[in-house]
Amino acid sequence: MTEADRPSSPFRPRRLLAVLAAGVLCSGVGALWVQADGSAKAEAADQPILVRKPIVTTSIVTLPPETTAPPATTAERSAVAVPRNKYAPEPIVHIGTLEIPKIGLVTPIYHGITMRNIDLGPSHWPGTAFPGEVGNSVFPGHRVTKTHPFRNIDKVAPGDQIIFTVNGVRSVYVMTHSLIVKPTQMEIVNQTAEPTVTLFGCHPPGSARYRYVIKGNLVPA
């Protein structure tokens, strides 16, 4: 089938999520969100750094007003679709820190689904629960490029702590299990009835063939 013969159709969110899993978080190969001419612009340096929890409205991230509506329920949450350009316009939003004592990790965390944020550190997937909230809080991160914060997540074992500090609030999760999935197995970002966390990166390091995933449950305060 030639390009002219191929029917046009709008992008489907599920397909775009699978594209994310197929290309994000890896070095060199399997890159995601390329522009039409095959190039990718890295313009993150001139973006503002924001420090308050953002509100997500489709692809727009803004700071909350003085009073905000209650968080969305688990049923209302859904991981947002991903732009094809991996450096699509997106504010750099710094929301706090992540610590995993077992592997000596202390890293800033961000909020966004493009490389503008993920290149700087693990980034909260918009549309999923924030740390400490009911639902599945999802953070993709690099294993071999940039600061490669998730390089050793395969060393994290059941019972190890995963600690978030967002807006001065500390949320402690305990790792429950790990799994290796195919890029198309996007159920890892599905929301849950309990407060849980999902961290993932490409596996094996430097390859886009699989995803290494660790899951955890929130420790009651």
- pLDDT computed for residue 75 by the predictor: 56
The answer to the question of residue 7 being in a domain is no
pLDDT in tens, the chain (221 residues): 544 444 444 434 444 455 444 454 453 333 333 233 333 333 333 344 444 454 443 333 333 333 333 445 655 688 888 888 988 999 999 999 999 999 999 999 999 999 999 999 999 999 999 999 999 999 999 999 888 999 999 999 999 999 999 999 999 999 999 999 998 999 999 999 999 999 999 999 888 899 999 999 999 98
Matching residue, tokens 């329920």: 73
The model's pTM is 0.71
- pLDDT computed for residue 77 by the predictor: 82
Number of compact structural domains in the chain: 1
Consecutive H or E run containing 16: helix 13-23
> Residue 166: which domain range?
13-218
The answer to the question of residue 116 being in a domain is yes
The CATH code of the domain that includes 179 is: 2.40.260.10
Give the integer Cα–Cα distance in Å for 146 and 115: 11
Give the integer Cα–Cα distance in Å for 82 and 84: 6
Q: Which of 184, 168, 176 is nearest to 219 (CA)?
A: 176
Other C-beta atoms closer than 10 Å to the C-beta of 49 total: 11
The answer to the question of residue 84 being in a domain is yes
- pLDDT computed for residue 78 by the predictor: 87
The answer to the question of residue 6 being in a domain is no
Matching residue, tokens 């094996």: 204
Give the integer Cα–Cα distance in Å for 134 and 144: 31
Q: φ and ψ at 20, to 5 degrees? A: -60, -50
